Amino acid sequence: METIIITGVSGAGKTQAIDYLEDFGFFCIDNMPIQLLSKFIDLCIEAGQDKIAVVTDIRSIALSKEIPKFRDIYKIKQDNDTKILYMDSDDSTIVKRYQQSRRRHPLSITSGSLEHAIGDERAIMKEMKDLADVIIDTSELKPSDLYEHLKEIIIQDDEPEMILLNFISFGFKYGVPKSADFVFDTRFLVNPFWVEELREKTGQDVEVQEYVMESAVAKEFLENIHKLLVGIIPSYLTVDKTHITIAIGCTGGQHRSVTITQLLAERFRDNPNYKVRVEHRDINKDRFLR
């Protein structure tokens, strides 16, 4: 039986995620107490369910007299075809979402302010995050983006050895993507921002790519990253990890990081062992600010 456990921080989109999984044909339960999860899975197996998805999070933990050590989750992962999706988001986005919804954080009574509640929740859920197979940062995701992202992760292709490579360009000034397995820094490369005719363009434009890749250093950098990933990524299959996020950053996320991300992703697109997804998280932020 295929089991998806959705967890993570409050306000990160877990309810939206399980709604989408229901669309994918999963039998779904929201707000499952962590103490009942193993028994529920056994019941579903007896009933002949082939695909289930549950949300278990701080809401059930907050009702407990003590914080669970997540031993049951580890045992479930060992005994079943189970994948854990950890939904995350940055603090400012979570605060904004709570302000808009006017709902109360599950830990607000014990923790006081919303900021303290978010911090306490992260500390409690850290062990669960460490167990996760996939971490999805929804800070910049629209609902349609989340749907496509989940579809790529959950609905497997016929080829069992397929690895999903998620390439993300970003600006360091806006923070490193929390879901990144690899982070590469391009801030040492020549910056098109200082070239007037390139300033308003992005790394998706050929002129910017040619400018960034003009130097031997840039070419060697791209080549070395490609060799590193080609050598390491297949080993992730030995630990059943088929979703890998490669984050590439520059100062603002508009020129250099986008260029390297575009060119690096292209090197993997023709390989039948990989499914490639590209996201330019901060590509327009600096341009909007200017």
Q: pTM to 2 decimals? A: 0.62
For residue 69, pLDDT beyond 70 = no
Residue 190's pLDDT is 97
Q: How confident is the model at residue 158 (pLDDT cuts 50, 70, 90)?
A: very low
| Number of other residues whose CB lies within 10 A of the CB of residue 113 | 10
Q: How confident is the model at residue 33 (pLDDT cuts 50, 70, 90)?
A: confident
- Give the pair of three-digit tokens for residue 243: 């979703």
pLDDT, tens only, 99-139: 888 888 888 877 788 899 999 989 988 888 888 888 999 99
Strands (E), the chain: 2-8, 27-29, 51-55, 81-88, 134-137, 163-171, 182-185, 243-250, 274-280
Residue 76: which of 124, 10, 148, 5 has the closest Cα?
A: 5
pLDDT, tens only, 188-233: 999 999 999 999 999 999 999 999 999 999 999 999 999 999 999 9
For residue 47, pLDDT beyond 60 = yes
Distance CA 178, CA 135 (A): 8
Task: Indicate the length of the chain as a whole number.
Answer: 290
pLDDT, tens only, 249-282: 999 999 999 999 999 999 999 888 888 999 999 9
Residue 126: which of 6, 8, 5 has the closest Cα?
A: 8
Side chain identity, residue 224: N
Question: Which helix (H) or strand (E) segment is 69 a member of?
Answer: none
Distance CA 166, CA 232 (A): 15
Per DSSP, 114 falls in state H
Distance CA 169, CA 283 (A): 8
Domains of the chain by start residue, with CATH: 2-154 (3.40.50.300), 163-289 (no CATH)
For range 170-177, the mean pLDDT = 94
Find out whether 135 and 88 touch, Cβ atoms under 8 Å: yes
Residue 65's pLDDT is 46
Q: Which residue has the higher pLDDT, 210 or 237?
A: 210
Residue 32's pLDDT is 86
DSSP string covering 214-255: TSHHHHHHHHHHHHHHHHHGGGGGGGT--EEEEEEEESSSSS
